[in-house]
């Protein structure tokens, strides 16, 4: 199977070449390609890769090492690894070890010049049970689903973007070609295995079901340390995660409170749901965007907007993976489009904390979809699934531009690039496949 380069490789390669001693953490949801990336990453040094889910005696010994001295001794005698900086130590599924978190400080302090990479889909579990993440001793990289540029690369069609120069006019045929690809992106999402399977003509339904079932099992096995209560049986985290993911999918792009996900009358609302939501964020399965407001009022507002980590998973939960078509009365394409635009933005700014929603006050019922902070820029983004946009539907977008003093903003829609001036501000309309050009 061919390997396709990921954008994240540049950041990880830079870390491996740097002189620092920080331990690298590579986290991300299941099936986002963490192991494949690190295995195929070109390095000047050999990589010693140990997967802690392997059941060989040698691996079990590493997994269950109780002290740092024991851990180091096993590495030296069994894996012939000496921490002299000549090779890179990679530990996959690192969260399988109960004690590895305690070794990070000693590795960073004693192994001078030695590069160590820890990765896993549940890497946040490494720091549970009262074990804080060592501040300043680690650097984290998050492997997310493919952005649209990577999606085209995996489909051997990245050169399609080369037919478009900036936001200048080009033929409608090129626009339709790229929008056809983008609709496939909305339909199947950006999980590398799914994209490759679709390219090979395989059925995706079983892949989605298998992934989701594994996530629910992860929830039952790994969430929390709640003691069994005589009022309900544990575990039930998997079932609550299933409800939460489905509810988030059905409310993509809409402001919600936790009662939208699970009734407050449910016994699990105050006990299990908070732990499940914490796992969704920690395992990079969902995103929450808070609202910034220009004016504070006494009227209670909704707390946040929630999105899923992969638009293909969202489409599967909503439609069982049906093709996406714009122009009808169904709101699903618009919801998926907003989710995909956020997914792309996060891949470039590398942090969901750099993105907020906006309302002039919490009395109004509409909002500006995204305010993205990137380097020295503030980028307001409004997302519409139509080919024509009325000014009355982007009033919060216009309000933000006027209040913030910035000179321009972007409306992502399904038409071709256009530019107009509103109240002395430059508004650029771009199709979603040009999101990368903003960063």
Residue ending a domain, choose from 92, 109, 142: 142
The whole-number pLDDT of residue 436 equals 94
The whole-number pLDDT of residue 124 equals 86
Q: Are 58 and 154 contained in the same domain?
A: no
Task: Give the dihedral of Cα atoms 274, 277, 279, 283; nearest 10 deg.
Answer: -170
Residue 284 lies in a domain: yes
Residue 131, pLDDT > 80, answer: no
Is 383 in contact with 185 (CB distance < 8 Å)? no
For 260-315, the pLDDT digits (tens) are: 899 999 989 998 999 999 999 999 999 999 898 886 554 554 578 999 999 999 99
pLDDT, mean of residues 389-416: 94
pLDDT, mean of residues 209-222: 95
Q: Are 51 and 125 contained in the same domain?
A: yes
pLDDT, mean of residues 54-69: 93
Which CA distances in Å does 209 have to 11, 263, 362?
A: 32, 25, 39
The whole-number pLDDT of residue 137 equals 85
Give strand pairing partners of 174: none
Domain count of the fold of the chain: 2
- pLDDT confidence bin for 227, thresholds 50/70/90: very low
CATH number of 45's domain: 3.40.50.300
Residue 2 lies in a domain: no
CA distance 332 to 224: 34
Residue 4 lies in a domain: no
**Beta-carbon-side half-sphere exposure of residue 118 (alpha carbons within 13 Å):** 25
For 64-122, the pLDDT digits (tens) are: 999 999 999 999 999 999 999 999 999 999 999 989 998 998 999 999 999 999 999 99
Is 154 in contact with 124 (CB distance < 8 Å)? no
The whole-number pLDDT of residue 225 equals 53
Q: Are 251 and 126 contained in the same domain?
A: no
| The model's pTM | 0.93
The whole-number pLDDT of residue 127 equals 78
Residue ending a domain, choose from 101, 126, 142: 142
Tokens of 21: 């001693």
Residue ending a domain, choose from 79, 111, 142: 142
Percent of the chain with pLDDT over 90: 78
Q: Are 86 and 178 contained in the same domain?
A: no
What is the SS3 assignment for 376-409? CEEEEEEECCCCCCCHHHHHHHHHHHHHHCCCEE
Q: Are 272 and 204 contained in the same domain?
A: yes
Q: Are 62 and 200 contained in the same domain?
A: no
CA distance 307 to 422: 30
Q: State the chain's mean pLDDT as an integer.
A: 91
Residue 231, pLDDT > 50, answer: no
Q: Are 97 and 165 contained in the same domain?
A: no
Q: Are 169 and 79 contained in the same domain?
A: no
The whole-number pLDDT of residue 300 equals 52
Q: Between 223 and 338, whose confidence is greater?
A: 338
Residue 220 lies in a domain: yes
Residue 265 lies in a domain: yes
Is 14 in contact with 131 (CB distance < 8 Å)? no
Residue 126 lies in a domain: yes
Residue 167, pLDDT > 50, answer: yes
Residue 133 lies in a domain: yes
Q: Between 434 and 228, whose confidence is greater?
A: 434
Q: Are 227 and 354 contained in the same domain?
A: yes
Q: Which domain holds residue 88?
A: 9-142
pLDDT, mean of residues 407-423: 94
- DSSP secondary structure, 165-190, as one string: -TT----HHHHHHHHHHHHHHHHH-S
- DSSP secondary structure, 66-97, as one string: -SHHHHHHHHHHTS----SSSEEEEEETGGG-
The whole-number pLDDT of residue 296 equals 57
Q: Are 168 and 138 contained in the same domain?
A: no
Please tell me whether residue 428 adopts helix, strand or coil conformation.
strand
Residue 18 lies in a domain: yes
Q: Are 38 and 79 contained in the same domain?
A: yes
Q: Are 271 and 418 contained in the same domain?
A: yes
The whole-number pLDDT of residue 310 equals 98
The whole-number pLDDT of residue 129 equals 60
């Amino acid at each position: 199977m061919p390997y396709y380069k990921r954008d994240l490789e540049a950041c990880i390669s830079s870390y491996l070449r740097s002189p620092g001693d920080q331990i690298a953490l590579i986290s991300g949801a299941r099936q986002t390609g963490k192991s494949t990336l690190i295995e195929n990453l070109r390095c000047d040094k050999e990589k010693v890769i140990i997967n802690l889910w392997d059941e060989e005696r040698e691996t079990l010994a590493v997994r269950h090492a109780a002290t740092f001295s024991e851990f180091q001794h096993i590495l030296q005698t069994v894996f012939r690894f000496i921490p002299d900086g000549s090779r890179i130590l990679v530990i996959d599924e690192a969260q399988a070890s109960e004690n590895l978190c305690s070794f990070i400080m000693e590795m960073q302090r004693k192994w001078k010049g030695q590069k160590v990479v820890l990765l896993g889909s549940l890497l946040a579990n490494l720091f549970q049970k009262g074990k804080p993440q060592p501040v300043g001793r680690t650097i984290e990289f998050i492997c997310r689903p493919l952005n649209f540029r990577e999606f085209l690369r995996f489909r051997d069609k990245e050169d399609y973007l080369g037919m478009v120069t900036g936001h200048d006019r080009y033929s409608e045929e090129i626009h339709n070609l790229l929008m056809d690809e983008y609709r496939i992106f909305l339909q199947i999402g950006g999980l590398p295995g799914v994209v490759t399977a679709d390219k090979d003509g395989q059925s995706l339904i079983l892949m989605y079901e298998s992934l989701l079932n594994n996530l629910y099992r992860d929830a039952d096995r790994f969430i929390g340390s709640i003691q069994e209560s005589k009022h309900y049986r544990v575990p039930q985290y998997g079932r609550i995660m299933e409800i939460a993911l489905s509810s988030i999918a059905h409310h993509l792009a809409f402001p919600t409170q936790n009662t939208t996900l699970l009734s407050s009358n449910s016994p699990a609302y105050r006990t299990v749901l908070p732990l499940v939501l914490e796992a969704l964020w920690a395992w990079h399965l969902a995103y929450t965007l808070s609202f910034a407001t220009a004016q504070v009022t006494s009227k209670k507002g909704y707390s946040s907007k929630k999105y899923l980590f992969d638009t293909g998973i969202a489409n599967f939960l909503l439609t069982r993976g049906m093709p996406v078509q714009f122009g009808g009365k169904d709101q699903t394409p618009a919801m998926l489009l907003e989710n995909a635009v956020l997914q792309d933005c996060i891949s470039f700014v590398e942090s969901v904390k750099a993105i907020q929603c906006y309302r002039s006050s919490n009395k109004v019922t509409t909002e500006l979809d995204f305010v993205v902070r990137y380097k020295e820029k503030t980028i307001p983004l409004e997302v519409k699934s139509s080919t024509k946009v009325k000014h009355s539907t982007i009033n919060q977008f216009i309000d933000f531009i006027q209040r913030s003093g910035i000179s321009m903003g972007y409306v992502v829609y399904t038409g071709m690039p256009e530019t107009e001036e509103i109240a002395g501000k430059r508004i650029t309309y771009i199709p979603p496949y040009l999101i990368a050009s903003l960063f």
